[in-house]
Amino acid sequence: MSGNLIQILPDNVANQIAAGEVVQRPASMVKELMENAVDAGARAVSVVVRGGGKTLVQVIDDGCGMAAADAVVCFARHATSKIRRSGDLFALQTFGFRGEALASIASVAEVELRTRRAEDEVGTLVAIAGGTDADARTESVSCPQGTQITVRNLFFNTPARRKFLKADTTETKQVIAEFQRVALCHPDLAFTLVADDKTLFNLAPGGLRQRIAAVMGRKTGDKLLDIEVDTPIVKIGGYIGLPATARKSGSEQFFFVNGRYFRSAYLQKAVVGGYNKLLPFGYTPSYFIYIDVDPARIDVNIHPQKTEIKFEDEQALWQMLSSAVARSLGKHNVVPMLDFEN
Ligand code: ADP
Ligand code: MG
């Protein structure tokens, strides 16, 4: 056997491997592309999907757009305008930072990007399918300010992965879930979602309560109590549902930290604990809880999907959250007034 068995993988192969983490299904592309739009300062974001997103995912924004050179480079691995040095990782102000989403998506689908900055007279079109940025076709086009990304035929070049995708209705449900999370984070922005020519959401900019009602429906939106924690270290705001609206299973549980959706079984117990004996065993209330902490006190660089987050002092957060829930229920006379601390 000859000695040199080790080779560096070509970019498109490395990107396909990375794509396994970033792009699991159409919904993960919807999330990444919507977050890019928000990062680009968009005021309005529209999402169009077909066939559960397997046939088509399109995200259109009116954000800052890209210059012609950036429109090509953005498909390269680790290409990002959002961080420059590792220290920036601890002061994240944007959703993106890995510079992996577009490279990953382009390696496993057919992508067309149209983008224009306000200061440019013409925009740029880049078409790239399953390759590296070197394979991209680029031309000048006229297009509105902002960015439009069209992704067709996800996993066309990795049939094994395509087979793992679920039925259209299941994939559409996942797309809706990701769309809702982003929309709930940014009540001040307009969002639309069209699936197979049906408009599922058409959300006007407004306040948080109005947005929750528009996203979850009046049944949830009408039965919310506000919660609040305001300390120098952490601020918590948002809404919790009346005990009567709690369910054994359901998907109306949302935690956000610094504008980022996350899950936490641990903190959910804090919320449930705040209801004390008001909930039947095994029931979970709906909640929409927004936590703001110094970015230096959280670590989002844990999981590629970034729904797991490490907090510096989770126990203190647990306490604050639980008593905030209890205070809110007490304040609104949902429970006979107990003696809550502060
Ligand atoms: P990240 O978001 O982690 O930086 P992405 O692969 O998602 O990585 O995007 C790469 C870069 O492409 C971004 O840093 C940004 O500069 C640019 N970009 C992506 N989407 C948009 C958009 N909708 N509008 C403007 N610029 C964008
Ligand atoms: Mg991104």
SS3 label, residue 265: helix
Count of structural domains, the chain = 2
Do the Cβ atoms of 271 and 69 come closer than 8 Å? Answer: no
Give the tens place of pLDDT for each residue, 178-211. 999 999 999 999 999 999 999 999 999 999 999 9
Which residues surround the ion ligand 2 when the cut-off is CB under 5 Å?
A: 36, 96, 101
Is 5 a domain residue?
no
Q: Is 19 in the pocket of ligand 1 (CB under 6 A)?
A: no
- Give the list of residues 6+ apart from residue 188 with CB closer than 8 angstroms, or none: 205, 206
Q: How far is the CA of 25 from the centre of ligand 2 (A)?
A: 16
Residue with the larger pLDDT of the pair 134 and 91:
134
* Atom of ligand 1 at shortest range from CA of 95: 2
Question: Are residues 31 and 94 both part of a single domain?
Answer: yes
Question: Are residues 40 and 181 both part of a single domain?
Answer: yes
- Look at residue 89 and tell me whether its pLDDT is greater than 70: no
Read out DSSP for 127-155?
EEESS-GGG-EEEEE---SEEEEEEESTT
Q: Is 74 in the pocket of ligand 1 (CB under 6 A)?
A: yes
Binning pLDDT at 50, 70 and 90, where does residue 97 land? Answer: low
Q: How far is the CA of 98 from the centre of ligand 2 (A)?
A: 7
Is 342 a domain residue?
no
Per-residue model confidence (pLDDT) at position 339: 45
Per-residue model confidence (pLDDT) at position 311: 85
Per-residue model confidence (pLDDT) at position 99: 76
* Atom of ligand 1 at shortest range from CA of 100: 6
**Type of residue found at 92:** L
Q: How far is the CA of 101 from the centre of ligand 2 (A)?
A: 5
Question: Are residues 196 and 91 both part of a single domain?
Answer: yes
Is 63 a domain residue?
yes
- Look at residue 337 and tell me whether its pLDDT is greater than 50: no
Question: ipTM of the predicted structure?
Answer: 0.99
Question: Are residues 34 and 181 both part of a single domain?
Answer: yes
Do the Cβ atoms of 206 and 187 come closer than 8 Å? Answer: yes
Q: Is 97 in the pocket of ligand 1 (CB under 6 A)?
A: yes
Going through the chain in order, the beta strands assigned E by DSSP cover 44-50, 56-61, 110-116, 123-129, 137-141, 146-152, 190-195, 198-203, 224-230, 234-241, 253-257, 260-262, 287-293, 298-299, 310-311
Instruction: Report the share of the chain in percent with pLDDT over 90.
Output: 63
Domain-ending residue, one of 179, 203, 227: 203
Question: Are residues 173 and 287 both part of a single domain?
Answer: no
Q: Token pair for residue 155?
A: 């996993």
Per-residue model confidence (pLDDT) at position 233: 85
Per-residue model confidence (pLDDT) at position 303: 57
Residue with the larger pLDDT of the pair 204 and 87:
204
Is 341 a domain residue?
no
Q: Is 96 in the pocket of ligand 1 (CB under 6 A)?
A: yes
C-beta atoms surrounding 266 within 10 Å: 12
Question: Are residues 195 and 251 both part of a single domain?
Answer: no
Per-residue model confidence (pLDDT) at position 1: 57
SS3 label, residue 216: helix
Is 336 a domain residue?
no
Ligand 1, from 15, 74, 182: best to mutate by most atoms within 8 Å of Cβ? 74
Question: Are residues 96 and 176 both part of a single domain?
Answer: yes
Per-residue model confidence (pLDDT) at position 2: 65
Beta bridge partners of 240: 225, 287
Which CATH number goes with the domain that contains 233?
Answer: 3.30.230.10
Q: How far apart, in whole angstroms, are the C-alpha atoms of residue 126 and residue 112?
A: 6
Question: Are residues 115 and 34 both part of a single domain?
Answer: yes
Domain-ending residue, one of 203, 236, 255: 203
Question: Are residues 62 and 193 both part of a single domain?
Answer: yes
Q: What is the mean pLDDT of residues 50-70?
A: 97
Ligand nearest 59 Cα, by number? 1
Q: How far is the CA of 234 from the centre of ligand 1 (A)?
A: 29
Question: Which protein residue has the closest C-alpha to ligand 1 atom 13?
Answer: 80
Do the Cβ atoms of 209 and 264 come closer than 8 Å? Answer: no
Where in the sequence is the domain holding 196, given as residue range(s)? Answer: 11-203
Is 210 a domain residue?
no
Q: How far apart, in whole angstroms, are the C-alpha atoms of residue 241 and residue 51?
A: 34
Question: Are residues 114 and 195 both part of a single domain?
Answer: yes
C-beta atoms surrounding 308 within 10 Å: 13
pLDDT, mean over the chain: 88
Is 2 a domain residue?
no
Binning pLDDT at 50, 70 and 90, where does residue 83 land? Answer: low
Question: Are residues 196 and 244 both part of a single domain?
Answer: no
Domain-ending residue, one of 147, 173, 203: 203
Which CATH number goes with the domain that contains 55?
Answer: 3.30.565.10
Q: How far is the CA of 51 from the centre of ligand 1 (A)?
A: 25
Is 52 a domain residue?
yes
**Type of residue found at 242:** L
Residue with tokens 């009408």: 222
Question: Are residues 54 and 197 both part of a single domain?
Answer: yes
